[in-house]
Structure 1
Amino acid sequence: MERKQVVRRVGLVVLAANAALALLKAGVWLETGSLALASEAVNSGADTLYSAVVVAGLYLTTRPPDFEHPHGHERIEPFVALFVALGVFSAGIAVMWTGATSLLEGSYQAASPLAAGVLGFGAAAKFGLYRYCLSVGEEHRSPALVATAKDNRTDVLTALAALVGASGAAVGYPVLDPIAAVVVGVGVLVTGVDIVRDNVDYLVGAAPPEELRERIVRAALAQPQVKGAHDVVAHYVGPEVDVSLHIEVEGDMTVREAHEIETAVVDAIREIPEVDDVFVHVDPKELDEWKLDAEGRWRDERVEEVDRERPGS
């Protein structure tokens, strides 16, 4: 199944699951009066709202390239993820306010064991959604789904905290219920910060990890007729990486021969899953435009290492 269908399906599954959990928790909260469960109902309600936005965002990001967006619409995904973070922050603040107000006013009360059961079920369901979203998000490089997975992971922890509060209230320690609600709120806010941090790099065009840059260089130098590479620039464009670099070849090549080498380098680098567009400029090696690292070893070590791996070396 192609990426478009997979990510859209995951979005719909998460939306349906969050809606069901929100209704379940709200119903049991009205029955039992558990503040921890009320905070979880608010959290699940917020999850439902942003899940609807994620579904719409995933529909937009998976549309094919068109005249106005020749590189596709994937760059929308970090904005979708940041919207998820906004919803997470809102839910966290609301939950903390509920718990803190209850503590200050001393308005907490004992809760039914039914609340604990619902919270346990919710934690199990959220763990399943976390694993599902994370697996698909990493496989298809979807920041929105990875952000959703992290939200679900925190929901597991906060649901367990709420479970502790509801269980404590059920056995005669009702003060644990609003305390757990505050813990839930803190956990939700931490997740929001995590999501923002992950997606800011996508939006500002930051460089990818050095390990990826090294793979790009090795892919270029692995071509037998490439004698060197310099001015290698890799940066995020949305969740994907664009690459530009100069390669050095024998100066007496024909244009056709140089073009064939350029095409081979582009194809090799595009085989790296994280990479989208690749732009290669061909230089005659006689110009000696090599760029060295601070120790003066970057070019020589890379070339020697790749040369040793070439057949016949």
Structure 2
Amino acid sequence: MSERSMRRVGAVVLAVNVFLVVAKGAVWWTTGSLAVGSEAVNSLADAGYSVVILAGLYLTTQPPDFSHPHGHERIEPFVSLFIALGVFAAGGAVLWQATTSVLSGEVGAGTVSPAAVGVLVGTAAVKFGLYRYCLRVAEETRSPALTATALDNRNDILTASAALVGVLGTGVGLPVLDPIAAAVVSVGILYTGYEIVQDNVDYLVGSAPPEDLRAEIIRRALDHPDVEGAHDAIAHYVGPEIDVSLHIEVEGDRTLFEAHDIETDIVESIRELDEVDDVFVHVDPKELGEWKDDETVEGFAET
């Protein structure tokens, strides 16, 4: 069900962005508003990355196979970074257009166009709906690509509002507000790209997950009645999922069967965390004295 939901989001986002490109492009052509034009470029970039999202979500929702025994979810951070590149390109283009317009003095007075106001207000409303929709499915599926899409739609609400200020400013005799609003739009676009990169770099470089999640992993190991201690606990991202490894200390007189059952219980307990993929537990007899001070474990165990 989650796979169908993710693919449906990609199709809906693509269809909406194509519609907005056509609507904004038509208004831009008839009014010449730089703010609306910048929004048209933004929607064009959105439509382009929507194609990438749709293709990427198709790949990432494929079942595991011999070449990818853990599935294809680890492709998603790369899809998200591709989205970020498109967002940066669009933001740079809009900023260049707004800057050159102000420096050249090519701004003129005009009237408020009902079409421009309507398309921008409509854009903000539609993008708010897309933001909530994408965010809900992203939270359900833990999809970095859909999270990136939600962030972009959230910022599109702000950029459409800024563009509306520019359109209204032109109509009240402050035409310079039009390119200024376009520049604000570009900043919003560029910030979206930054957020997407920031969110996905951790997935690609194997960073540790948030502290509260690491604390919960350690607590689940120490909660087992037969575990005397833990050390060498490591949790890190492998794609959008987390791999965990740790050593636990148990009484040395446990049978092999008992040690196996303890290990299995802890692995299953930690795997119940939605973000966790693989768990590796090494069982140490506490009498060997391999236990070592581990400030990370001790700190999390006390929280």
TM-score (norm 2): 0.95
Q: Which residue of 2 aligns with 1:292?
A: 293
1:181 aligned partner = 182
- Decide whether aligned partners of structure 1 residues 116 and 239 sit closer, same or farther in structure 2, where only a CA change above 3 A counts: same
Does the 8 Å contact 1:54/1:144 carry over to 2?
yes
For 1:309, the equivalent position in structure 2 comes to: none
- Residue 242 (structure 1) shift: 0.3
SS in 2 for 1:63: coil
State the distance in 2 between where 1:299 and 1:222 align. 13
- Shift of the alpha carbon at 1:193? 1.0
1:300 positional shift:
9.4
* 1:99 aligned onto 2:136: no
1:155–1:27 Cα change, 3 Å: same
Which region of structure 1 is more displaced relative to structure 2, 37-46 or 169-178? Answer: 169-178
Partner of 1:79: 78
2:147 alignment counterpart: 146
Q: Hey, what's the Cα distance between the residues in 2 that align with 1:136 and 1:98?
A: 35
Give the Cα–Cα distance (whole angstroms) in 2 for the partners of residues 168 and 86 of structure 1. 31
CA distance in 1, matches of 2:292, 2:25: 62
Give 2:106's aligned amino acid: S
- Judging changes above 3 Å, is the alpha-carbon distance between structure 1 residues 300 and 286 closer, same or farther for their aligned structure 2 residues? farther
Does the CA-based 8 Å contact 1:113-1:170 persist in structure 2? no
Q: Which residue number corresponds to residue 133 of structure 1?
A: 134
How many angstroms does 1:60 deviate by? 0.6
CA deviations 1:187-212 (Å, max 9, x no partner) are 11111111111110100001111211
Distance, in Å, in 2 between the alignment partners of 1:301 and 1:240 is: 21
Q: Identity over the aligned pairs, expressed in percent?
A: 66
CA contact (8 A) 2:233 2:297 kept: no
Q: 2: CA distance between counterparts of 1:291 and 1:161?
A: 57
**RMSD of the alignment, in Å?**
1.7
Judge conservation of contact 2:92–2:186 (CA < 8 Å) in 1. Answer: yes
- For 2:167 and 2:294, how far apart are their aligned partners in 1? 59
For this pair of structures, how many residues does the alignment match?
Answer: 301
Matches within 5 A, 1:11-160: 11-109=10-108, 110-111=110-111, 112-160=113-161
Q: Structure 1: 5+ residue runs without aligned partners? A: 307-313
List per-residue Cα deviations over 1:216-268 (Å, max 9, x = no partner). Answer: 01111111112211111100000110001111111111111111111111000
Moved over 6 A (4+): none
In the TM superposition, 1:231-310 aligns within 5 A as 231-294=232-295, 298-299=297-298, 302=301
| Alignment check: 8 A CA contact 1:36 1:177 kept | yes
- 2:173 counterpart residue number: 172
Residue identity opposite 1:7 in structure 2: M
Q: How big is each residue's C-alpha offset from its partner over 1:61-100, in whole Å with a ceiling of 9 and x where there is no partner? A: 1111110111111110000110110111011011111111
- The residue type paired with residue 14 of structure 2 is L
Name structure 2 gaps, 5 residues minimum. Answer: none
Contact persistence 2:270–2:276 (CA under 8 A): yes
Q: CA deviation at 1:293?
A: 4.0
The one-letter amino acid paired with 1:154 is N
Q: Does 1:222 align with 2:223?
A: yes
